[in-house]
Amino acid sequence: MKGQVRFSRALLMMLIAIMLVVSACSGGSSGKEGAGSTSSEPLELSEKGTFPLVKEKMTLKVMIPSNSLVENFETNEFTKWYEEKTNVHVEWIIVPQQSASEKLNLMLASGDYPDVIMGMGVTAAQQMIYGKQGVFLPLNDYIDQSSVNFKKVLEERENLKASISAPDGNIYALPEVNECYHCSMAQKLWINQDWLDALGLEMPKTTDELYQVLKAFKEKDPNGNGKADEIPLSGAPQGSGWLSSIDAFLMNAFTYNPVFSTSRNHMYTKDGKVQVAYNQPGWKEGLLYMRKLYSEGLIDPQIFTQDSDQLLKLGEGADTPVLGAAVGGHTGVFTQIGGESGRWLDYAAVPALKGPDGTQYAAYDPYGFSIGKVVITKNAKHPELAFRWADGFYDEETSLRTTIGRPDQEWREAKEGEIGINGEPAKWAKLVEYGQIQNVHWEQTGPTYRSNELRLSQAVTDDKPNLEVLLYQATKNNYEPYKPKDVTFLPSLFFTEEQASELSDLMKTINDYVDQMTASFVTGESDIDRDWDNYLKTLEGMNLARLLQIHQEAIDQRKE
């Protein structure tokens, strides 16, 4: 009997051991392969700085926002080139660009993370929250031990590391480094020069002159087709097109209003104190001005609802041009750059407008990079592979390929004697213009390293119009003279975990309310004079003071 018991126990133990081995080989019972673990089977990677990264093809799940200028990320020429170069296949998770922020928040709350989140604008607050929770992996060791390209970027841009490092010393996201001169003063208004000429009008320089011009566009048939089909001014909501929201340019004639990125919307410092534009007396005056334009039919009624595709169709769709002016970082926001119609060349940049009290700002972002371009999540089975894959984008040629296209097809090396935009010997020349719907590159969806030197070393050729040259000249002549002297753009800031958690809700609640009320005031749904005080009280009730205090504490800490 005792022998039988001993035998049964031995058999039982053996069965348990077999079950444990089977369970381990099948990845456990969680039902989510690789979830919550980065210690996967060993992966043999190539020596750092060499390609392909692996001998046997691997797959990364990558979440990105959609891009109206990219036909298909799966069949894209750069996608195929980079897959061949790295031997890494991408399984895309593409979310609508207009709701990218919302989709990101939902994904983070769900716990169903891809290997890599790219181009989604992960904020400093999100990096702190999800970095501390272990959802976003710290990248410091990978940068030190596995990086070639991004490590070089950090060495060449000495202030960058401090700007992307959280207070705990960790780097949770790789940035986009794009030292773009015209982007540093990107809030622009473009007006149809042909229409000005047809009506004998001068370029507007004040808010009153702009009103008179838009009124003439509406009433005097500048497109000459005998129809009252002109739309004097259009744009798209914040987040739909590049700086195409109605307030992005116009408000700077009433109060300083930088809106370069969603994480720092409308925020700046003055005399060392953090402020926002949307509770200033000038904001109310700007709303009254825009309400006047809207009430007289000078602003497109779809300006608060249409997306970037609809705005582009407005600029290009009709046989005869119907759009008089539009807000945007460049004319490709509302026309087809290099398109057959040639309309992208019909629009000229309106200088920073002077408001009724003399206010005249060109909003200025001096930093040349944006945080949160790439994060690697805890669900990455092979995080070092994911990092090496991301590190490759910071190579100069790869940066040109992912933003412009293929060598000798969309761009080429400069010829001897060619001069760059900056007047120095050129390094490269563009063969196609930006802004066309295409399937050869990612149109700035991935991270890049485009230094000011690289961008301005583009050859200036006389055979075709050059968007970069046009933007450089427009910025130099129409916005550089009006860079602010009494206010400062808010730098990238990191916060404690408690601050970040609190700030995440505050920013969304307040910014959503400001966008909602801007539309409501301008369209007349709310009365500006009657409802302004209640608007300010609502902001107070949403704890705007606390939002400012958190940023002030972070600014003060940064100075130490």
Tens of pLDDT along 245-265? 999 999 999 999 998 754 557
Other CB atoms within a 10 A radius of the CB of residue 13 amount to 10
Give the N- to C-terminal CA distance of the chain in Å, as an integer: 78
pTM: 0.75
Res. 514: pLDDT tops 90:
yes
Residue 65 CA, distance from chain mean position: 10
Mean pLDDT value across the chain: 89
> Of 448, 396, 385, whose CA–CA distance to 146 is shortest?
385
Q: Residue 32: its pLDDT value, please? A: 32
Neighbour-count burial for 481-512, b at 16+ CB within 10 Å, e otherwise: ebebeebbbbbbbbbbbebbbbbbebbeebbe
Of the listed ranges 94-98, 103-107, 232-236, 366-370, the one predicted with least confidence? 366-370
Residue 402 CA, distance from chain mean position: 16
Res. 143: pLDDT tops 90:
yes
Q: Residue 335: its pLDDT value, please? A: 94
Tokens standing for residue 220: 């005097």
The SS3 of residue 102 is helix
Phi, psi of 90 (to 5 degrees): -105, 130
Tokens standing for residue 374: 């790439």
Mean pLDDT of 57-82: 97
> Of 169, 109, 97, 173, whose CA–CA distance to 501 is shortest?
109
Listing DSSP states for 128-192 in one string gives HHHHHTTSBPP-HHHHHHH-SHHHHHHHHSTTHHHHH--TTS---SEEEEE--TGGGG---EEEE
Other CB atoms within a 10 A radius of the CB of residue 321 amount to 23
Q: Residue 261: its pLDDT value, please? A: 58
Element (H, E) at 233: strand 231-234
d(CA 431, CA 428): 10
Tens of pLDDT along 263-316? 557 999 999 999 999 999 999 999 999 999 999 999 999 999 998 889 999 999
Of the listed ranges 27-31, 42-46, 344-348, 493-497, the one predicted with least confidence? 27-31
Res. 28: pLDDT tops 80:
no
Q: Residue 31: its pLDDT value, please? A: 32
Tens of pLDDT along 428-466? 999 887 778 999 999 999 999 999 899 999 999 777 788
Res. 33: pLDDT tops 50:
no
Residue 380 near residue 386, CB atoms below 8 Å: yes
Other CB atoms within a 10 A radius of the CB of residue 444 amount to 20
Please calculate the CA angle 353-238-300 and round it to the nearest 5 degrees.
Answer: 65
Mean pLDDT of 121-135: 91
Res. 12: pLDDT tops 70:
no
Tokens standing for residue 286: 């700007």
Mean pLDDT of 194-215: 98
Residue 26 near residue 368, CB atoms below 8 Å: no
Please name the residues in contact with 347: beta carbons below 8 A apart, sequence gap of 6 or more. Answer: 190, 191, 192, 193, 325, 326, 331, 335
Tens of pLDDT along 213-236? 999 999 999 999 999 999 999 999
Share of the chain above pLDDT 70, in %: 91
Contacts 24+ apart (CB under 8 A), 32-39: 32/112, 32/379, 33/381, 34/379, 34/380, 34/381, 35/111, 35/378, 35/379, 36/378, 36/379, 37/378, 37/381, 38/137, 38/378, 38/380, 38/381, 38/383
Tokens standing for residue 221: 């048939």
Neighbour-count burial for 388-402, b at 16+ CB within 10 Å, e otherwise: bbbbbbbbbebbbbb
Please calculate the CA angle 59-63-64 and round it to the nearest 5 degrees.
Answer: 125
Q: Residue 366: its pLDDT value, please? A: 85
Of 409 and 22, the structure prediction assigns the larger pLDDT to: 409
Q: Residue 37: its pLDDT value, please? A: 39
Q: How confident is the model at residue 79 (pLDDT cuts 50, 70, 90)?
A: very high
Q: Residue 6: its pLDDT value, please? A: 40
Tens of pLDDT along 166-194? 988 999 999 999 998 999 999 999 999 99
Res. 3: pLDDT tops 60:
no
Res. 20: pLDDT tops 50:
no
Res. 153: pLDDT tops 70:
yes
Res. 154: pLDDT tops 50:
yes
- Cα–Cα distances in Å, from 87 out to 34, 61, 94, 215? 21, 14, 21, 58
d(CA 516, CA 300): 17
Q: Residue 474: its pLDDT value, please? A: 95
Phi, psi of 231 (to 5 degrees): -110, 105
Q: How many CA atoms lie within 13 A of 207 on its CB side?
A: 23
Element (H, E) at 126: helix 124-132
Please name the residues in contact with 237: beta carbons below 8 A apart, sequence gap of 6 or more. Answer: 98, 244, 245, 303, 304, 305, 306, 307, 515, 519
Mean pLDDT of 507-512: 92
- Strand ranges inside 377-533, DSSP E: 411-413, 428-430, 449-450, 488-489
Tens of pLDDT along 475-503? 999 999 999 999 998 888 888 878 888 98
Taking the CA atoms of the chain, what radius of gyration do you get in angstroms?
A: 26
Residue 299 near residue 246, CB atoms below 8 Å: yes
Mean pLDDT of 12-18: 39
The SS3 of residue 474 is helix
The SS3 of residue 341 is coil
